[in-house]
Structure 1
């Protein structure tokens, strides 16, 4: 967190929490090396399975708290897919629901002490975003054939502007996975880094008289930031999912 250096004062490294480390020691991380990222991804999957498999196996008419959470999540995403992408997009609901659950659980678990936020790494969010990009592009061509390219041709614009707008539309289309992934990773990384910066000032009361004022303020800031991060964790999962629905709608209905 923070260490005292008599020559330089209080030293802390807020980005250390994002370092990928092998689980069983060593400094080399290979393609098949189990890491802290691997561990927390596995925990995320187990938590999702625990909620939707074991939490709903009773299928009670009067649901338990766990079953209620599972049903609310299911209904929330189901309605989102139907409202944004249309009823014909419901066949892709399992994929979109899986995305939402993985991201929201990864974000929430990352708020636990000593946890690792897997969605703070562009390598993770980039794979999720690229999978969405490839999937919706494939769906667009499979369902519409060459007419899917009409997505880039703005027929309502003046004829002279259409080629220019087509180039802009193509560029913006291929930038989608970049913005889709950076938005999630950037928000998760920034919030956690700010919390650690505030936390580094919490023990200042042990080293200096000014800590009598700084320490309570830092604790208050940590509490406020943590509450904000809980909200951001859900909002970012929602944003990633609803953008996936928007992209799916473009693939299914390129003429709209």
Structure 2
């Protein structure tokens, strides 16, 4: 197994091309292999991996922007302070618009989620980096944290009346039990869709870029591949922000349901 991990590590450095019977061979999914940061061997629960490294870099980048970048608090803001203030205002307005004034007390948690996903997505676009949000192990934890937080908050705030979220009182009485079952199923599917949407979009975009990079080795189509890579990279920059925004605004919607569960 250690041999296979070492082989995968070598392949993950780039799309390796080989002429085998006239066909082009490359491995676009090797960039998502989790590898030990030090040495070789199996990845255990406490192994420091490339995922660990880039998660730590994302956290340090957030601290650098939000703490060090705003430490002077100048009247005429620096670039880092301006970015921090824009991010703060953007998320604050989102929380206020979706959840109302009641949800603003949970703004720090939502702001942290947004910044972490944004930085993890953008850091993953750096060549030779690792995209942590392309792994379901990361996005599932984020989604489950939101799901459990919102569910516990709903019962703490509303008690048994939180179950009113599943009872569509505006529907005809005969349809309400059926709709309640549908609402209950959709509620428990939330963390699945919440996590898959983020990881799936990020993984797909990076895989497509790697495929185009593989074709760039062929001289006849190399110019087209370079154009395609440039276009896809620009699209991935947009996707990196949009997916962070979608994850965050869905968190706000779920929070609103916990605070105001009645249909």
TM-score of the aligned structures, taking structure 1 as reference length: 0.96
Structure 1 segments unaligned to the other structure (5+ residues): 206-210
Q: Give me the whole-angstrom Cα distance separating, in 2, the residues matched to 1:8 and 1:2.
A: 15
Residue of structure 2 equivalent to 1:172: 186
Moved over 3 A (4+): none
Deviation at 1:71, TM superposition (A): 0.3
CA contact (8 A) 1:2 1:10 kept: no
Residue of structure 1 equivalent to 2:23: 9
- Residue correspondence of structure 1 range 50-61 to structure 2 within 5 A: 50-61=64-75
Residue of structure 2 equivalent to 1:237: 244
Q: Give me the whole-angstrom Cα distance separating, in 1, the residues matched to 2:33 and 2:152.
A: 35
Structure 2 segments unaligned to the other structure (5+ residues): 1-14
Q: Give me the whole-angstrom Cα distance separating, in 1, the residues matched to 2:198 and 2:22.
A: 35
Q: Give me the whole-angstrom Cα distance separating, in 2, the residues matched to 1:197 and 1:8.
A: 17
1:98 aligns with 2:105: no
2:43 alignment partner, one of 15, 29, 32: 29
Q: Give me the whole-angstrom Cα distance separating, in 2, the residues matched to 1:87 and 1:27.
A: 51
3-state DSSP of counterpart to 2:25: strand
TM-score of the aligned structures, taking structure 2 as reference length: 0.93
- Residue correspondence of structure 1 range 94-243 to structure 2 within 5 A: 94-205=108-219, 211=220, 214-243=221-250
Q: Give me the whole-angstrom Cα distance separating, in 2, the residues matched to 1:230 and 1:52.
A: 21
Deviation at 1:27, TM superposition (A): 2.5
CA contact (8 A) 1:80 1:242 kept: yes
CA contact (8 A) 1:59 1:67 kept: yes
Q: Give me the whole-angstrom Cα distance separating, in 2, the residues matched to 1:8 and 1:127.
A: 44
- Aligned length in residues: 249
Residue of structure 1 equivalent to 2:58: 44
Q: Give me the whole-angstrom Cα distance separating, in 2, the residues matched to 1:148 and 1:75.
A: 30
Deviation at 1:7, TM superposition (A): 3.0
1:246 aligns with 2:260: no
